[in-house]
Amino acid sequence: MTEELYEELEAILIQADLGVEASVGLVETLRQRAKAEKIKAAEELRWLLKDELKKLIGEPGVLIKNPSGPTVVMIVGVNGTGKTTSVGKLAYHLAEQGQKVVLGAADTFRAAAIEQLEIWGERAGAAVIRHQMGSDPAAVAFDAVQAGLSRRADYILIDTAGRLHTQTNLMQELEKVGRVIGRAMDGAPHEILLVVDATTGQNALNQAKLFAKAVPITGIILTKLDGTAKGGIVAAVVNTLRVPVKFIGIGEGVEDLKPFDTEAFVEAIFDRS
């Protein structure tokens, strides 16, 4: 195998936003595997690289289902990642499967977020629990869980305010929301999903690390894959946090949140290269 071919494959990975460290590591693994398996053909080498990338990203995650009551899902992320939209699309996705959903509008910093969630609630046929703008987000989350329990909901989705990962006081508030949800229902939240914007590249990894310090992340929603973003950074996030990608957002429509497919995702990275 020529050095130029390895460099070309490394460039594909870097251009797909995997980041230099992950890309170099993958290509080094590829070199060793190609040597051990006596690989001669360039096309076979590309196949091996896809295989190693699939291993790195891992199997898609499935949304947890609490067998003894409502499943409480808390959705977190930085500003502008499409978090509230993802909550609404997830509500619609679950409602289409016959699940009863209650939404908690715990993003009390933006009036627009509450209004946006109510619009999504109407589309999904989901009740929205809200307080006034500026209210305590933890109180909203508590009331949403209580409402979900009394209404025998299948899923309770809690939308939290977008926050920069560097805002210590807001990250502590996120911890508080999680604790209060646990007081409202033993074992909750059952899922804490981190929304990652596919267009943010390496900054997404820094965000993910700090969110994971504040709350126990259980899965990832990767958004904005409808543009030119290749979303390769998700490989580094998955590898660092050791949690699966569960959904991807591919557009603005109600049906544009899809369960993650590792194989299709990896193929798309190479198709767009």
Asked if residues 202 and 196 have their Cβ atoms less than 8 Å apart, the reply is: no
Most confident of 2-16, 144-158, 218-232, 249-263: 144-158
Asked if residues 97 and 137 have their Cβ atoms less than 8 Å apart, the reply is: no
pLDDT at 253: 84
Domain ranges, ordered by start, for the chain: 3-57, 71-260
**Structure token pair of residue 212:** 């994971």
Instruction: Specify the higher pLDDT residue, 17 or 244.
Output: 244
The rounded distance, in Å, linking the Cα atoms of 55 and 222 is 18
Mean pLDDT on 18-26: 87
Q: Which residues, listed in sequence order, are joined to residue 158 by a DSSP beta bridge?
A: 74, 104
Instruction: Specify the higher pLDDT residue, 260 or 41.
Output: 260
pLDDT value at 165 more than 70: no
Most confident of 2-16, 33-47, 185-199: 185-199
- Give Cα separations from 237 to 81, 110, 224 (angstroms): 15, 28, 16
Helix (H) or strand (E) holding 157: strand 155-160
Of 174, 202, 194, the closest CA to residue 247 belongs to: 194
Residue range 124-150, pLDDT digits in tens: 999 999 999 999 999 999 999 999 999
Q: What are the backbone angles phi and psi of residue 142, rounded to the nearest 5°?
A: -60, -50
**pLDDT class of 2 with cuts at 50, 70, 90:** confident
**pLDDT class of 254 with cuts at 50, 70, 90:** confident
Q: Does the pTM of the predicted model rise above 0.85?
A: yes
pLDDT value at 236 more than 90: no
**pLDDT class of 228 with cuts at 50, 70, 90:** low
pLDDT at 81: 92
**pLDDT class of 227 with cuts at 50, 70, 90:** low
The rounded distance, in Å, linking the Cα atoms of 126 and 230 is 33
pLDDT value at 230 more than 90: no
Dihedral, CA atoms, 232, 91, 119, 187, nearest 10 degrees?
Answer: -100
CA angle at 161 for the pair 17 and 192, rounded to the nearest 5°: 65
Collapsing DSSP to helix, strand or coil, 160 comes out as strand
Helix (H) or strand (E) holding 21: helix 20-36
Range scoring the smallest mean pLDDT among 32-41, 100-109, 136-145, 163-172: 163-172
Residue range 37-51, pLDDT digits in tens: 988 888 899 999 999
Domain 71-260 sits in CATH at 3.40.50.300
Q: What integer best gives the mean pLDDT of the chain?
A: 92
pLDDT value at 273 more than 80: no
Of 81, 97, 77, the closest CA to residue 158 belongs to: 77
Asked if residues 155 and 99 have their Cβ atoms less than 8 Å apart, the reply is: yes
pLDDT value at 16 more than 90: no
The rounded distance, in Å, linking the Cα atoms of 116 and 107 is 11
**pLDDT class of 269 with cuts at 50, 70, 90:** confident
Architecture of domain 3-57: Up-down Bundle (1.20)
pLDDT at 225: 85
The rounded distance, in Å, linking the Cα atoms of 171 and 253 is 30
Residue identified by tokens 């291993």 is 55
pLDDT at 166: 74
pLDDT at 122: 97
